[in-house]
Amino acid sequence: MGSEQATLPGLALSQGSCSPQDGGSSSKEDMGNEAGKPRFKRIDREQLFWRMVDLDRLIADDHPVRAIWELVGKMDLSRFDEKIRAVEGVAGRSPYDPRLLISLWIYAYSQGVNSARAIERLCEIAPPYQWLTGLEVVNAHTLSDFRVGHGDELKELFVQVLALLSSDGMITLERVMQDGTKIKASAAPDSFRTEEKIQEQLKAVQEHVEALDKLTEEESSERAAKARERGRRERSERLESALREFDKLRAEGNAKERVSITDPEARNMKQAGGGFAPSYNVQISTDAANKVIVGVGITQAGNDFDQLIPGVERVEQNLAESPKQVVADGGFVSRDNIVEMESRGVDFIGPQCEEEGKGKSSYEGRGVTSEYLSSRFVYDAASDSFRCPQDKTLSYEGKDERNLHVSYKYRATWADCKACPAKGQCCPGNQVTGRSVQRTEELPEVAAFRQKMKTEPVAEIYHQRSEVAETPNLWIKAKFGLRQFRLRGICKVEMETLWACLTYNIRLWIRLHWKMRAAAAVAMA
Ligand code: SF4
């Protein structure tokens, strides 16, 4: 520090020093200074020099990047090779080995780096990246294209890694936790527009381009024309893609939805911390034994009701085996899911959902006295109708399929109720319709599910759910930086998610297998 200060212009020994020129007293030190200013080694940061680098000593023997390289080397990457056109004996530039590009991305994700440009920079300065590349700098375009250009191959790699973890005893499928988490899309909340607005914008873009096309050559250089054409194409494609999303939404029965013009496939989803944001719903299945991610999927659905069965099927596809037990939160508990899990022989565990008795408090709130609660109405199966305490008939009106049961509605006529002396205790608020009651039917599977969830051992299993299921979510978001997608469109965000989940599993393998094996080898030596 002292030497740095002394070499700074204008600071060298000027303050607080006592030189002969200042008229101070003479000492041995002063005598030394009389010969001139002290001289130090100059740091020359402009110079270029060669140096010897022992690449293998850039990183420690137990550095995780070695484990990643080793693990990726064990995988069959022949499907990645199929896309490479350069071959031995034929002229042309050799591309990078997929093993290197995969290892670079995995290591980068594990360090919370998920940008191709950042990796390119790190290849220049960071020893783990330099060790991987052999001091080469892999450019961002190559990295970026590789990340999204091998969807099927990446899925196959994910499955291969699962097979390795399974053979190392890290996966049992005795208990799998299914969970959904919302990850924000690369789009602003105010990027949503109605269909009419998007059509207007598309028309404006097309008109604008036509006007630009009429510019003379002096007004428009070739380069500017190319940039204009690229901008027009990208904007038009995004707007046309947004319009196509409306067809999809209409097919799903969401005619009134708006679509983001930045990422048309993102959906406005409720966030855990409150509010809504353009997002994707990431579904993760985690094996409870060692918290390995055994299945991952992306959906545009804002809720999880329809995601349990696809989640189980993904696990079956990945590991050729069904999980014995699946644990999920209340968002996955529905009649259909309970019945389907039962038919597949999968033990489904979810929270207790007591829907019975929900109506009682609302009846009381409406001024219905205890003599006229729905339990006082008598059902007659033969005529499929109810008799009220005043012996009037309530006829079948329609059914309502609820989450866990089917609800059948019956109603008295307005004429009967209007003339009834007990109307004030039975349905005081009704002004135009007669009193209604509901009959619910619960399937045996749902009743058995309710009973099961009341037992203590099963409730205890459910309590373990959040710790297991939320661990990968936390890692992916907090440690790997995937709080918001960098890419747009469901296919590309699926790739981003797969890279992060693959990295998570490989990190687990390093911690639970590779490091223990390395420690054992050191102990043996
Ligand atoms: S108000 Fe209607 S439903 Fe209620 S007791 Fe009277 S007749 Fe029956």
pLDDT, tens digit, 9 for 90 and up, residues 400-425: 877 777 889 999 999 999 999 999 99
d(CA 169, CA 289): 10
- From the CB of 373, is ligand 1 less than 6 Å away? no
| Dihedral over Cα of 455, 458, 460, 466: its sign | negative
User: 286, 267, 287: which is closest to 277 by C-alpha?
Assistant: 267
Expressed in angstroms and rounded, the spacing between residue 66 Cα and the centre of ligand 1 is 79
Tell me how far apart the alpha carbons of residues 380 and 307 are, in angstroms, rounded to a whole number: 39
Task: Give me the count of residues in the chain.
Answer: 525
* Least confident piece of the model among 52-61, 89-98, 213-222, 390-399: 213-222
Cβ–ligand 1 distance for 389 under 6 Å, the answer yes
Determine whether the shortest distance from the Cβ of 411 to ligand 1 is under 6 A: no
**Most confident of the following: 38-42, 268-272, 439-443, 493-497:** 493-497
Rg for the chain, CA atoms, rounded: 34
Would you give the distance in Å from CA 337 to the centre of its chain?
Answer: 23
Whether the CB-CB separation of 157 and 502 falls below 8 Å is answered with yes
- For ligand 1, the distance from its centroid to the CA atom of residue 454, given in whole angstroms, is 37
Over residues 264-274, mean pLDDT: 88
- Give the Cβ contact number of residue 53 at 10 Å: 11
Asked whether the beta carbons of 278 and 266 are under 8 A apart, the reply is yes
Ligand 1 contact via 435 beta carbon (within 6 Å): yes
SS3 326: strand
390 lines ligand 1 (CB under 6 A): yes
Token pair, residue 325, equals 């037990």
Which of 369, 397, 420 to probe ligand 1 with, by most ligand atoms within 8 A of CB? 420
Whether the CB of 437 sits within 6 Å of ligand 1: no
Cβ of 422 below 6 Å from ligand 1: yes
Q: What amino acid is encoded at 406 in this protein?
A: V
335 contacts 449 by C-beta, under 8 angstroms: no
Q: pLDDT by residue (tens digit) across 202-257?
A: 888 777 766 666 555 555 567 677 777 777 778 888 888 888 888 888 887 776 67
Asked if 254 and 268 touch (Cβ cutoff 8 Å), the reply is: no
> Which conformational region is residue 513 in: left (phi greater than 0), alpha (psi within -120 to 50 degrees), or beta?
alpha
Local structure of 48: helix, strand or coil: coil
